[in-house]
Amino acid sequence: MVKTLYLKNNVLKILDQRLLPSKIIYIVCRNHKDVYYCIKDMAVRGAPAIGVAAGYGMYLASLEKEFKDLKDLKDYLGKAGKYLVSARPTAINLFWAIERINKVVQLFNDSLVQELIAVIKTEADKIYQEDILINKKIGENGAKLLRKNSTLLTHCNAGALATAGWGTALGVIRTAHKKGKIKLVYVDETRPYLQGARLTSWELLQEKIPCVLITDNMAGYFMSTGVIDGVIVGADRIAANGDTANKIGTYSIAVLCKYNNIPFYVAAPSSTFDLTISDGKKIKIEYRNSDEVTFINKKRIAPVGVKALHPAFDVTPHNLITAIITEKGVIKNPSKERIKKILGV
Ligand code: MRU
């Protein structure tokens, strides 16, 4: 699998996911503003991947000028962090990663600027490496829930491309496939950004995991014919009661699952939980440019002058979720109490 992003010689290379699957091109980020634009303009996307990129964005910020003392560096990093988190509002992992770097920065009180820079790099590397290990644990925990020969449906891309590697929802599918549990994966194309058509089907083909691409409005039909055993998706932010924000269209799929008696799973690392908000109504939903609806691949598909809307995420209420699969364990019938118990908080 190609790398979503990597740091080499103090430069962050980010795979430009807007060009996939036709071209594999890396954007060279030399400073935190470059990283900001990669996140904002969706060259890198997916909650965990955005967090990992932002962590490295902070490291790049620490290399951007000669700092006269520790305070000078800390002040600069404070501004860089605020700038980076303003790139996209919904995925909590972006805020989480910046907070993690901010914490090591605040705790560092030795005098040497160079030492703090090294500490920031170590923390950013840790965020990257831990993400892959966490995803593998999610994969193991999730695969146990599936029967042999399962046919699953997934929405958007919660794969290696949305993380530092392996993936969350696709991580479960990868692990389950290695255990011989996957017969077929239905991939929603995921209008309007087509993460399913462009990214998920590409990842699955590379791994030789049997898949079939469908348009979003076909999901209900296939569920009604009885061919789908379960749905598994990722998450951008999970509130304290388990309400989950994920790619627009996820809520509709969860409702269809309830009606058709199909298990609906969310796979996410513990860093995707936002325990400071009681429920999903408090999650800020990103509205993106309506051109992403009226154009496909830079080609206009709707008449000039028509208004369009593009909420990029929706919220699935916790009572539609069969289980949330985390690296710490599986939260069945998610509720505030069960979430706290499994996360150990
Ligand atoms: O707008 P995107 O492509 O960043 O949205 C991505 C999703 O909604 C994913 O499902 C979510 O971030 C989980 S990725 C492991």
Q: What local confidence, expressed as pLDDT, does residue 111 receive?
A: 77
Give the CATH superfamily of 5-136.
translation initiation factor eif-2b, domain 1 (1.20.120.420)
Q: Cβ of 224: how many Cβ atoms within 10 Å?
A: 12
Q: What local confidence, expressed as pLDDT, does residue 108 receive?
A: 94
* Residue closest to 43 by CA, chosen among 199, 249, 216: 199
- Ligand 1 atom nearest the C-alpha of 272 is 13
- Ligand 1 atom nearest the C-alpha of 167 is 15
**Which of the listed CATH numbers 3.90.1150.10, 3.40.50.10470, 3.50.50.60, 3.10.580.10 matches domain 140-343?**
3.40.50.10470
Ligand 1 first shell, C-beta below 6 A:
45-48, 91, 156, 158, 162-163, 168, 195, 233-236, 246-247, 312
Report the alpha-carbon distance of residue 267 to residue 231 in Å, rounded: 11
Query: SS3 for 157?
Result: coil
Q: What local confidence, expressed as pLDDT, does residue 31 receive?
A: 98
Cα of 241 to ligand 1 centre, how many Å?
20
State which of 20, 156, 187, 313 you would mutate to test the pocket of ligand 1, scoring each by most atoms of that ligand within 8 A of its C-beta.
156
Contacts of 185 (CB under 8 A, 6+ apart): 151, 152, 153, 154, 173, 204, 209, 210, 211, 212
Annotate 183-244 with DSSP letters as a single string: EEEEEE--TTTTHIIIIIHHHHHHTT--EEEE-GGGHHHHHHTT---EEEE--SEEETT--E
pLDDT tens across 274-322, in order?
999 999 999 999 999 999 999 998 999 999 999 999 999 999 999 999 9
Residue ID of nearest Cα to ligand 1 atom 10: 234
Model pTM score = 0.97
- The first and second tokens of residue 173, run together, are 């599918």
Which residues of the chain are under the pLDDT cut of 70? none
Cα of 49 to ligand 1 centre, how many Å?
9
Domains of the chain, residue spans: 5-136, 140-343
Cα of 160 to ligand 1 centre, how many Å?
11
Catalytic site positions: 236
* Residue closest to 209 by CA, chosen among 247, 171, 235, 246: 171
Q: What local confidence, expressed as pLDDT, does residue 263 receive?
A: 98
Report the alpha-carbon distance of residue 272 to residue 333 in Å, rounded: 18
Cα of 159 to ligand 1 centre, how many Å?
9
Q: What local confidence, expressed as pLDDT, does residue 109 receive?
A: 87
Q: Give the residue carrying structure tokens 């996820």.
A: 250
